[in-house]
A = this chain, B = another copy of it.
Amino acid sequence: MDETSQKIIDATMSLIRDKGYVATTTKDIAILAGVNECTLFRKFKNKKDIVMNGMEQEKWRGNLTPEIFRNVRWELQPDLEMFMEEYMNRITPDFVKLSIGLRAPQIYDETAPLIMKIPRAFVSSLIEYFQSMEQKGKLPHLDFEGLAMIIFSNTFGFTFLNASFDNKLTSINKENYIKTTVATFIQGIPHY
């Protein structure tokens, strides 16, 4: 990946994040990338190709792999706090906005499965985590899918709302929110 192509990709994804795919023109991309407009088409097949290449890059994909679910201490409180924190550190407001900007009819068929990878990874890994906790005798058998969805809906919802409304909806900071949520959750679920 040469430097010019990378500049084009970065400019494109930034503009999509700010204005959406359809409202992002190749002229704007060229200006922001600091290249001539025809250079875009020397490097990429078309506008969509720039995006698809951008989404191959970790930088623009919001990397959240099952790896973080392996750095656990097998204690609910620190582990759940860590999962939520990792999610919020990687799924930044900018990434949320980019995900929204990628919802365009021209590309959504291709971008949607990529966007869905992260929620899927998070939820299924969290279910596995709960199952392992059960096997270790630290949790009774519960509806782990439902519990995973509670944690994830919560995490995602807070992240999205902050990305959309900044602090106009709530002034709670992330760390306090995580602690309160996890404490309430742990206290609320059945224990041995």
Contacts and interface: CB of A to CB of B under 8 A. Distances in A.
B169 A116 contact: yes
A20 interface: yes
A160 to B, nearest CB: 7
A158 B169 contact: no
Contacts of A168: 116, 120
A77 interface: no
A123 interface: yes
A185 interface: yes
Contacts of A180: 143, 146-147, 150
Interface stretch (A54-62, A64-72, A97-105, A132-140): A97-105
Nearest to A23: B22
A114 interface: no
Interface of A: 18-20, 22-23, 100, 103-106, 116, 119-120, 123, 143, 145-147, 149-150, 152-158, 160-161, 164-165, 168-172, 176-177, 180-181, 183-189
28 contacts: A18-B105, A19-B104, A20-B22, A22-B22, A23-B104, A100-B100, A116-B164, A116-B168, A119-B165, A119-B169, A120-B168, A120-B169, A123-B170, A146-B177, A147-B184, A149-B172, A150-B154, A150-B177, A150-B181, A152-B157, A156-B160, A157-B157, A183-B188, A184-B185, A184-B189, A186-B188, A187-B187, A187-B189
Given A152-B161, A157-B157, 17 more contacts: A20-B20, A22-B22, A116-B164, A116-B169, A119-B161, A120-B168, A143-B180, A145-B172, A153-B155, A153-B158, A155-B157, A156-B160, A157-B158, A184-B185, A184-B189, A187-B187, A187-B188
